[in-house]
Amino acid sequence: MTRPTAKNPPRTFHVKSFGCQMNVYDGERMAEMLGAEGMTAVEEGLSADMVVLNTCHIREKAAEKVYSDIGRLRREDGTRPMIAVAGCVAQAEGPEITRRTKMVDIVVGPQAYHRLPELVGKAMRGEEALDTDMPAASKFGALPGRAKQPRPTAFLTVQEGCDKFCTYCVVPYTRGAEISRPWDAILDEAKALVDGGVKEITLLGQNVNAWVDDAGRGLHDLIRALDKIDGLARIRYTTSHPNDMADGLIAAHGDVEKLMPYLHLPVQSGSDPILKAMNRSHTRDSYLRLLDKVRAVRPDIALSGDFIVGFPGESEQDFEATMHLIREVGYAYAFSFKYSPRPGTPAADMTDQIAPEIMDARLKQLQAQIIADQLAFNQATVGKRCSVLIEKPGRKPGQLVGKSPWLQSVHVVAEGSRIGDMIEVDIVSAGPNSLAGEVVRRKAA
């Protein structure tokens, strides 16, 4: 099988990211880094000289997908691109990957990808190119500055890793301990993004609201500093942990105008015994009280969550408690998953694993409720006037698609408006996944 050699270095690349938004961000940074090395991005893997599969290990299906994707990179003439497996599968499986398939040249973990160009060199020389170190010094300092973004919205990772050790989750093992990027580095990156035309920044972290710096500043201080950047119109953040939801952050939702009224706050289950077995360190009640506090300062906030059904030992009664919580909260959006045992996590060894058909039935019931709530939330915005940040063209001629403050997709016909414009819109109709709006007037961006 031919692939780039020392005489024939890769000139084009394709990065494919799976899983969470943090992987999307990492994928963009890897692309920017390879671009800075003189390589050119191409849209499609098979025709690229090099492919980076930026993988996710959170659930079994996500991890298995990597191997089928690798297989699909074999070309009809028997050749293939140089293949790098990055992300959390690389971290979790390491050398196991190159034992399982001969098609992988580079294995690089999420804390080591700043060394990707070096690893390409090694792979070309036929040396082992594996790096799953979790160095104390952050990779961020070794990355080139942000390139001009193609979109008006951008992710910015401010925090990584997790110290919470929920018993079902691989993240503390694949992403390592909680680290916060320094204040100045974050603000510099934000300013560079805004200078390049970005209007909305979403701060990212596995536990983004655990962000803290040496001076004891928290995420709300960072949000207040970003609020002062001229040209930046919207700030979002995700994903938060209920236990790190500081009063200062809640207060910011009440008075920072650029902070959008949307909060993703996973709860996973509505049953206290299950929350305890999950090591979530919050209860159903403490979670609901937290939401009350947020709603007190920002009554229109859109809430979203993550749910796992079929955690080991989950009884019918436990599941009912989750359904009850969902009905009580009225989520604007939610992600829901069947429990997937992950090797090395405590829950994988628990007895009372739940039968797949029970999980299927519970997931179906839960998702039906979520969709009904989502539709109700969207319908409640009909008749409201709000800003929409235009992100892309719509399917119909003249139509544009953007996001409302509550993160809903809004379809609108807006003559003379362009991607990146903030326009004011009256919401006229709603479905479960999007809204339709009519332009009020052009707003100076």
Q: Tell me which residues touch ligand SF4 (CB under 6 A).
A: 162, 164-166, 169, 171-172, 206-207, 241
The single-letter code of the amino acid at 369 is Q
Residues that bind ligand 5AD (CB under 6 A): 58-59, 168-169, 266, 268, 306, 308, 337, 339-340, 342
Cβ neighbors of 414 (< 8 A, separation 6 or more) are 390, 400, 421, 423, 439
**CA 108 – CA 91 distance, rounded (Å):** 7
Q: Name the residue nearer to ligand 5AD (CB basis): 114 or 362.
A: 362
Among ligand 5AD, ligand SF4, none, partner that 342 touches (CB below 5 to 8 angstroms by kind): ligand 5AD
166 carries a ligand binding annotation = yes
386 carries a ligand binding annotation = no
**CA 272 – CA 268 distance, rounded (Å):** 11
CA separation, residue 350 to residues 6, 269, 359, 363 (Å): 49, 17, 16, 21
Among ligand SF4, ligand 5AD, none, partner that 119 touches (CB below 5 to 8 angstroms by kind): none
Q: Name the residue nearer to ligand SF4 (CB basis): 1 or 165.
A: 165
Among ligand SF4, ligand 5AD, none, partner that 61 touches (CB below 5 to 8 angstroms by kind): none
Tokens representing 5 are 């050699």
CB of 212 to ligand SF4, least distance (A): 16
Among ligand SF4, ligand 5AD, none, partner that 59 touches (CB below 5 to 8 angstroms by kind): ligand 5AD
Taking the mean position of all CA atoms in its chain, how far away is CA 435? Answer: 23
**CA 178 – CA 163 distance, rounded (Å):** 6
The sign of the torsion formed by the CA atoms of 247, 256, 164, 133 equals negative
Q: Name the residue nearer to ligand SF4 (CB basis): 26 or 200.
A: 26
Q: Which residues pair with 51 in a beta bridge?
A: 14, 83
Q: Name the residue nearer to ligand 5AD (CB basis): 306 or 320.
A: 306
CB of 306 to ligand 5AD, least distance (A): 3
Q: First CA to last CA across the chain, in angstroms?
A: 53
**Pick from 245, 256, 263, 248: nearest CA to 300:** 263
CB of 379 to ligand 5AD, least distance (A): 27
The sign of the torsion formed by the CA atoms of 241, 245, 249, 255 equals positive
CB of 66 to ligand 5AD, least distance (A): 17
Query: Are 186 and 56 in contact, with CB atoms under 8 Å apart?
Result: no
Query: Are 152 and 391 in contact, with CB atoms under 8 Å apart?
Result: yes
| Half-sphere exposure in the Cβ direction for 226 (13 Å, CA) | 35
Among ligand SF4, ligand 5AD, none, partner that 83 touches (CB below 5 to 8 angstroms by kind): none
Q: Name the residue nearer to ligand 5AD (CB basis): 366 or 422.
A: 366
For tokens 């902070």, name the residue: 259
**CA 38 – CA 310 distance, rounded (Å):** 48
**CA 354 – CA 314 distance, rounded (Å):** 7
Q: Which residue is nearest to ligand 5AD (CB)?
A: 306
Q: Name the residue nearer to ligand SF4 (CB basis): 322 or 378.
A: 322
Among ligand SF4, ligand 5AD, none, partner that 165 touches (CB below 5 to 8 angstroms by kind): ligand SF4
Among ligand SF4, ligand 5AD, none, partner that 258 touches (CB below 5 to 8 angstroms by kind): none
Residues present in the chain in total: 445
CB of 241 to ligand SF4, least distance (A): 5
Query: Strands 409-413 and 399-403: what pairing?
Result: antiparallel
CB of 69 to ligand 5AD, least distance (A): 20
CB of 115 to ligand SF4, least distance (A): 24
Among ligand 5AD, ligand SF4, none, partner that 308 touches (CB below 5 to 8 angstroms by kind): ligand 5AD
CB of 345 to ligand SF4, least distance (A): 9
Residues marked as binding? 20, 56, 88, 162, 166, 169
Residues marked as binding for [4Fe-4S] cluster? 20, 56, 88, 162, 166, 169
